[in-house]
Each structure stands twice: as C-alpha cells, then as structure tokens.
Homo-oligomer: A and B are copies of this chain.
Amino acid sequence: MSEQEIEVKGHLIDSMVLTRIFDKIMDLGGDFNVLEFTIGKKKNELSYARLRVNGKNRKHLDHILETIYIEGAQPVMVERVLLEPAPRDMVMPSNFYSTTNNTTQVFYDNDWMDVRNMMMDKCIVVDIDSKTAECKMIRDVQKGDMIVVGERGVKVIPEERPRQGVDIFQFMSSSSSSERPTLQIARKIAIDIDHTRRNGGKIIVTAGPVIVHSGAAESLARMIRLGYVHGLLSGNALAVHDIENALLGTSLGMNVKDGTLAIRGHRNHMQAINEVFKAGSIYNMVNKKILKSGIMYECTVNKIPFALCGSIRDDGPLPDVVTDIIQAQKLYRHILKDADMVLMLSTMLHSIAVGNMLPARVKVVALDISQPVVTKLLDRGTTQAIGIVTDIGAFLPMVVQQLEKINRVRESG
C-alpha cells in the first residue's frame, strides 16, 4: 500500500470540488481518510480539507493522484515541477504533462508561476532564465525547450462557477434545449453582450454561412456597426455567401429579400468569388466601392480583424482565406487573445476550433438549430457556457433589436 497526504482549499462544497475528488478516488479503486476538514461557516469563507489517499501500490497511487491534482488537490509537501528538454523540434518528452484549459501554475524555484496562454491538450514550457511558463502547441515546440513532465509541481485551479450577478450565464447553467422562452433569452443575451462591452470586454464572433442563407447577415452587420464585435473568426463560405448576398442579393441562388429563386442563381456564388479575385481582395473590393454592404464590408470599414481559414470543401477559396491551417490557427489565437466573450453562431467546425483555444474563464454562447451540435460545443469545457437551440435567422434579429433598444434608451437617458 502506498499513501500520500493531499490538501485542497476553496469553496469545496459549493463548487463540488470535494465531491469530484472523493468520486475519482473511489472510481479508481483507491481509498482515503479525511484527516482534517473545516467548512467555511459563511458564504464567502473558504473551506479546507486534508486527506490521506491510499493506493494499492506506487503506480496505482500515482494514477489516483494525477487524477485528483487536476481537480485542484495538492500534495502537502510541494515538490518542484519536473522538466525535460524536447529531444527535437515538434517532439515532446514521452511523459509530457498534457494541459487542461483551467488556470494552471507550476512550482519552480520555490515559487508558483502562472502558465500563460492556457489552452487544452497542449504542453507547458518553462523558460529557466526568465522564470516564466507558457502553454505551447506541439508544432511550436523547439528542440531543447524545457517541458513539464509528470504531474508533480503542477497545480490546476478550476474555475469557480460565478455566484453573484444576474446575467444569462448564471441563469441558464450550461444546459441546452429548444423548450425555453426564446424572446426572453434573446433579451438576456443582448443585456449580457452590452454589459460585457461597456466594461471594456472583448467580444469575438464565430459564424457559419447559414447566417446568410437564413437572412440574418444584416443583423450581424448591424452588430458590427454598433460596436459589439471585436473580431470575426470564420471560413471561406461565410465570406463568399455574404459577398454574393451583398453584390447580387442572393444566397444559395435564392433572392434573400423576397425568397424567390434568382435567374442564373446557380452560378451566383461562383460569380461572387470571381469578383473578389478580380479586385484582388475583400479590402480592395471595399476600397473600390464594389462591395458596399454586408458582414465583410462592415468588418473592413470598422477595422474589425477577421480570420477566414481554409477548409477542404472550399470553393475558390477567396484570396483572403488563409489556406494553410497552421497559419490560420495562429491567426485565430491572435484574434482570440484576451477575449471575454465568444458568440458561436451556427458553425460547428470553427466553434470547436475556437473552443479548444479558449481558457475556461471565457463566456461562451453556442447557438445552433441542432441540439447534438450545441451539446458537443458545450462539452469543450468552458465553465461559463450556454447553449441555445434555435433558428439563427429568427434569433439574431431579436438580439439585435434588443441591442438597438438598449442603445436608444442609453442615448436618450
């Protein structure tokens, strides 16, 4: 039998941390004794627990400890993080520590250091000279990088569910369903978007082409004009359909304004692509006053950074599309830096990509007409995520109406 004393501090009960720790020890066939436990007597006091954890042998115990350290438990004697150099570019040591998207610290040189740029499923590189730690993707790993191995000296600080306030994220608590009062949810999301921006927050949108097909492109364009979007992450299809809509008034060959089928409609999206190649880029089209409305137009004139990443199904793709996905991921991460809120609008591909890049603290609204898609997006592990199963073509106009109302009230008041 092997044993190890561990401790854990925080809103242990409230945040279910202790529950999960007990659960996991037992799930893995381990045993434990509670040596000490003080519960916060008042809502805002912290609780503290000290446990002795037993495993069948050292290996078994290590498995258990690794699992509960992720939940925020700590060995009572903190040991220094273990580092090993990367043997080659893009190769990690075999026993590398794989990150979560929670805030993480490593114990090095007798102190805890924050790991910067936390993302899920990456490794941690410690710069011994500058005494800093950073989260790195495998393709960015360079020979000789000092990479954290094992679980020792790594502390994960799980996000605590926010308890105060009345925003939509407290209200809906991560579940998704189409059986909710739609208008009311639209209103709450509008309030939260507005609140985020007023507090200097950064709002990023991922969006799929169904926004254009369903007639909601003008709504997103208005959100940009109103200043509620600080970055747009999408792909070729959104841009092509938005430009087709702006130039020719159609989407999938249907007139968006009156819903009739357009003559020559079947070739309109190819024509839109050709127009962008003629101009050379979306920026040039706006500059030459060829493109005068729509989502991409508003991004351009309002200087909102956007990233269009390539995908194997692209027609064209447009000259603005970043066709190498390693480059596209870098651009995405750059635009997402310090985001406070992400609206995922009817695009599974880009939303999953973004979900993987986000630290757990960022607010996420995931919207799609398919419940399985919404459920999948919520699984990405952010603590403050809500899923909405609705028709973007009906929902986004409602949100924008509310945002405009809020703005009118503020201006007049």
Task: Take A63-B264, A274-B96, A394-B398 as given contacts and tell me if A180 and B269 are in contact as well, using a CB distance cutoff of 8 Å.
Answer: no
Chain B residue numbers with a CB within 8 Å of A410 are none
Is A256 among interface residues, defined by CB-CB distance under 8 A? yes
CB distance from A197 to the nearest CB of B (A): 21
B26 lies within 8 A of A34 (CB): no
The CA-CA distance from A277 to B383 in the complex, in Å, is 32
Q: Mark A157-200, 1 if CB is under 8 A from B, else 0.
A: 00000010000000100000011111111101000000000000
| Most chain B CB within a 10 A radius of its CB, from A185, A252, A263 | A263
Chain B residue numbers with a CB within 8 Å of A67 are 263
Q: Mark A1-29, 1 if CB is under 8 A from B, else 0.
A: 00000000000011010110011001110
Is A288 among interface residues, defined by CB-CB distance under 8 A? no
Candidates B26, B186, B323; contact of A325 at CB < 8 Å: B323
A33 lies within 8 A of B41 (CB): yes
Interface set, chain A 298-325, CB cutoff 8 A to B: 309-317, 319, 323-325
Is A290 among interface residues, defined by CB-CB distance under 8 A? no
A277 lies within 8 A of B313 (CB): no
Is A389 among interface residues, defined by CB-CB distance under 8 A? yes
Task: Take A138-B316, A313-B356, A371-B371 as given contacts and tell me if A181 and B393 are in contact as well, using a CB distance cutoff of 8 Å.
Answer: yes
Question: Which stretch (A75-83, A127-135, A209-217, A335-343) binds chain B?
Answer: A209-217
Chain B residue numbers with a CB within 8 Å of A352 are 313
Q: How many residues of A contact B (CB 8 A)?
A: 110
Interface set, chain A 23-81, CB cutoff 8 A to B: 23, 26-28, 31-34, 37, 39-43, 63, 66-67, 70
A309 lies within 8 A of B309 (CB): no
The CA-CA distance from A319 to B178 in the complex, in Å, is 29
Chain B residue numbers with a CB within 8 Å of A33 are 41-42
Is A94 among interface residues, defined by CB-CB distance under 8 A? yes
Is A126 among interface residues, defined by CB-CB distance under 8 A? no
Minimum CB distance partner of A314 in chain B: B325
Is A369 among interface residues, defined by CB-CB distance under 8 A? yes
CB distance from A132 to the nearest CB of B (A): 22
A179 lies within 8 A of B324 (CB): no
Give the oligomeric copy count.
4
Chain B residue numbers with a CB within 8 Å of A389 are 369, 391
Minimum CB distance partner of A245 in chain B: B181
Is A266 among interface residues, defined by CB-CB distance under 8 A? yes
Is A105 among interface residues, defined by CB-CB distance under 8 A? no
A182 lies within 8 A of B214 (CB): yes
Chain B residue numbers with a CB within 8 Å of A269 are 121
Is A117 among interface residues, defined by CB-CB distance under 8 A? no
Minimum CB distance partner of A12 in chain B: B13
Task: Take A19-B14, A213-B181, A312-B309 as given contacts and tell me if A277 and B91 are in contact as well, using a CB distance cutoff of 8 Å.
Answer: yes
Candidates B31, B88, B391; contact of A390 at CB < 8 Å: B391
The CA-CA distance from A92 to B276 in the complex, in Å, is 11
Task: Take A16-B19, A391-B178 as given contacts and tell me if A274 and B91 are in contact as well, using a CB distance cutoff of 8 Å.
Answer: yes
Interface set, chain A 218-249, CB cutoff 8 A to B: 235
Is A144 among interface residues, defined by CB-CB distance under 8 A? no
CB distance from A112 to the nearest CB of B (A): 22
Interface set, chain A 262-309, CB cutoff 8 A to B: 263-264, 266-267, 269-271, 273-274, 277-278, 309
CB distance from A193 to the nearest CB of B (A): 16
Q: Mark A251-265, 1 if CB is under 8 A from B, else 0.
A: 110101111110110
Top 5 closest pairs, chain A to chain B, by CB? A182-B393, A394-B394, A98-B267, A181-B215, A310-B325
Could you list 22 A-B pairs, sorted by A, with CB under 8 Å? A13-B19, A14-B19, A33-B41, A92-B277, A96-B274, A122-B270, A178-B214, A178-B391, A179-B213, A181-B213, A181-B251, A181-B256, A183-B215, A310-B325, A312-B329, A312-B349, A312-B350, A313-B353, A314-B325, A323-B325, A369-B391, A370-B372
